[in-house]
Each structure stands twice: as structure tokens, then as C-alpha cells.
Structure 1
Amino acid sequence: MIRLILNLLWFVFGGWLSGLLWLFGGAVLALTVVGLPWTFAAWRIASYSFWPFGREVVWRDELGAHDVGTGPLGLVLNVIWFIFAGWYIALSHLLIAVAEFITIIGIPFALKDLELAKLALAPIGRTIRDKP
């Protein structure tokens, strides 16, 4: 019940905007040939941005997946992402988290924004799963 309340509050007070921006970013990436490797990562982040409570971000190789995103190519894609998009998207989530930390009620939301910031730095090779 608490997760539902937190997710509803998150969604109403900005999660919808964050999720829509990630969806839009993924759509723009999909329109370009060079952006295709990051499209689905952006859409995964959008899904997490809409409804983060009760879910967690994990590396796919920790789950036993061994694919292109978990190998050396995934590292290269994450470095390219960091240089061209990741650092300033992460900075925006970090600044929002600082503002949320000021209030006691904002602390759980700030923690989720910090997770989004970490995810925005290197999204390739990660997935979202329900918390056990």
C-alpha cells in the first residue's frame, strides 16, 4: 500500500514529466541511425521514471545475462552516452534530489532521483526488476 501511495505521489509531482521526457528522448534516438543502441535503454528508464517504487535497477550480468550490452561494447556505448548525454541528465536528477532532500517527506523521492541519476550515467547493460 505504501509503494502505491509513493508511486502515485511520485507520478503526480513530476514522474509523468520525467517519464515522458525519457520516452521522447528514446523516440528521438530511434529516429537516428546512430542513436538506436540507446533507444531501448531510454525507454527502460522511462518505465522506471513513471513508477519507481517497488522496483530496482540491476546490472544484467548479475542476473546471468551475457549479451552485447554486458560486454566490452556495452562499456564503449556507456562511455559515449556519458560524454554526450549522461552527465548532464544525471546532474539534473541530482539537483532535483538535493531540493527534495530539504524536506523530510521528500527524502524517499530524493533517493529515487539519485538512482535515476546513477542510471542516467551508464544505462547500457542494466535492467529494471521488481524488488524481491
Structure 2
Amino acid sequence: MKIIACGSVPTIIAPDKYFTGRVLQTPIIEKEAPARLRATLVSFEPGARTFWHTHPLGQTLYVTSGAGRAQTWGGPIQEIKAGDVISFDPGEKHWHGAGAQTAMTHVAMQEALDGVHADWLEQVTDEQFGD
């Protein structure tokens, strides 16, 4: 058994090469090979969001507070809120983040394939984000 004490892992400001707006990330777990799991608590201020991206083995989000948005390439923007679980298939191009006027926090969970958890693509434009 291993216990990671609350407060022992620092929260970081997410890099602007993958996110628009202010986003905070607090790592929950990153297992070493042969395990592949990574989970992170991600907090988005209003208007903040990820860039378009994919995950080689898919991704699951669990919204813990607030309300936000998620979209897959070519699909409509979906409203997401606390308690929702969102699942993206392997290789599915998507983004997720806060609402225009609301903050949102979720737990992001994904597995690595050959050490890769995500493939980051282009920025979500203000026009794509809306409002």
C-alpha cells in the first residue's frame, strides 16, 4: 500500500501550449509501467479550455464541480456539469473546459500507450468555443 498525503503533490498552472485561459492541475496518480494510468484534478476558470487533442487509449472525465463544455471534432458542443461522466474513444479528437461564465473542475483519467497519454493539436478558437 502507498498513501500519498494530501498537500504533498503541488498544484501547477497548466502550460499555455495545451490550454487557453487559467487552468490548474493537481496530479492524483501516475502509475509506472507496466501500469498505464494517469489521473489529474483539473480546474478551469470561466472561458478556459484545452486545445484539441486525442488520447491513444481514450479518456474519461468525471466532473466534480461547476459547469462546462466538451466537444468532439465535427459534433455539437455539449454542456457538462458536476456529476457527469464523459468518455472519449481512443483517437477521438476533442476538447473540454469551463463555460463562458462558469468555472468547472474534473478528474481526467487516461492510460498511456508506449508512454504517450495525449496527442496535442491546435488551439480551440474563440469562434469554436462560442459565447
Q: Same fold judged by TM-score > 0.5? A: no
More strand by share: 2
Report the TM-score when normalising by structure 1: 0.29
More helix by share: 1
Query: TM-score, length-normalised on structure 2?
Result: 0.29
